[in-house]
Amino acid sequence: MNTLQKKLLYSMKKIRQVELAIAAKYSEQQMRCPVHLSIGQEAVAAAVGACLEKTDSIVSGHRAHAHYLGVNGSLKGMIAEIYGKVTGCSKGKGGSMHLIDKSVGFMGSTAIVGGTIPVGVGFGLAIKKLKQQHVACVFLGDGAIEEGAFYESANFAALHKLPVLFICENNEFSVYSPLEVRQPKQRLISEMVAGMGIESAQYDGNDVELIHQVTTAAVQKIKAGQGPQFLEFATWRWLEHCGPNEDDDLDYRCQKSNSKWRDRDPVQIFEKKLMDQKLVSESEIKDLHNSIDIEIKAAFEFALTSAFPTQEDLFEGIYG
């Protein structure tokens, strides 16, 4: 494996294993906040994260664990945050839906759909005005595309040729609502955005190397001053919208699609590809798996043994 492949494999597996660990422990009722897991959507976060640098500015929404981990946000800080501990990345104030790790460029994720789209564009404005060679990256879903804030922000980013990378994960659902009750059937999100004057394309969101390749190209264009770039990736969320369980029994997604996408497990596809090319052996993958599990175990230990915030902390930070 080359360095990039190693990085992508590690990153995807880490996201998968962390999310599975959260799902497994959620029923202990100690992570007392809503969690929106990204199982099935690891490839986009891992690949895009690998294209970004610490000096870039990344924002996301409610389903942000993967985006945060993809740019190597502190795992301990995230798990402690979900446990409501003072050592959490937001000191227990924000929970799973409000993550931040500025040391790696992850500038914040929030839970109001579309809420960080203009904020990300604002980071782009700052980068441009300060004449920096960085990019702002906005992670958003197909649901967030429907918010007025998206159109207003995209228009402004296009108008000022801002260095903004929009990464739209289209998992076809907003909670239980399929795309067809929310957007016209024949209209592709990426084509609509292209119509707004933003260079835009749609790709498979479960092929990590492809995602890395097209995102690298988009970042280069942004840095060359060609303005905002929009990438739409088709993917699938495996578990319920919010919470640790599967919910295929509710039948809001057709079983055919569910199994089609599960057969296209982005982590497995990449592992198999690397193994078929004899770039990695099964036992090496196992070793990687185990070393990630050790990292995860340490993060949960850290979270569980950390202190809770105290009443004095309640009024800390209302003003800056």
Ligand X SMILES: Cc1ncc(C[n+]2csc(CCOP(=O)(O)OP(=O)(O)O)c2C)c(N)n1
Structure tokens at 51: 């294209």
CB 219 within 8 A of CB 153: no
What is the rounded CA–CA span in Å between residue 12 and residue 292?
11
Longest dimension (CA), the chain: 57
Site for another protein (CB under 8 A): which residue of 1, 4, 20, 33? Answer: 33
Does residue number 250 form part of the binding site for another protein (CB under 8 A)? Answer: yes
Does 29 contact another protein by CB under 8 A? yes
**182 lines the binding site for another protein (CB under 8 A):** yes
Shortest Cβ distance from residue 308 to another protein (Å)?
A: 4
Task: Compose the 161-200 pattern: x for residues touching ligand X by CB under 6 A, - for all others.
Answer: ----------x-xxx-------------------------
Among the listed residues 148, 256, 278, 320, the single contact to another protein using CB under 8 A = 148
The one of ligand X, another protein, none whose footprint includes residue 173, by CB under 5 to 8 A per kind, is ligand X
User: Are the CB atoms for 67 and 60 separated by under 8 Å?
Assistant: yes
d(CA 193, CA 286): 42
Asked if 93 and 317 touch (Cβ cutoff 8 Å), the reply is: yes
| Nearest to 232, CA basis, from 191, 279, 268, 195 | 191
Q: Which of 219, 232, 194, 203 is nearest to 124 (CA)?
A: 219
To another protein, the closest distance from the beta carbon of 301 in angstroms equals 19
Please select the residue that binds ligand X; options are 113, 193, 280, 296, rule is CB under 6 A: 113
> Applying CB under 8 A, which residues contact another protein?
29, 32-35, 84-85, 88, 90, 92-98, 110-115, 143-144, 146-149, 174-177, 181-183, 242-243, 250-252, 308-311, 313-315, 318
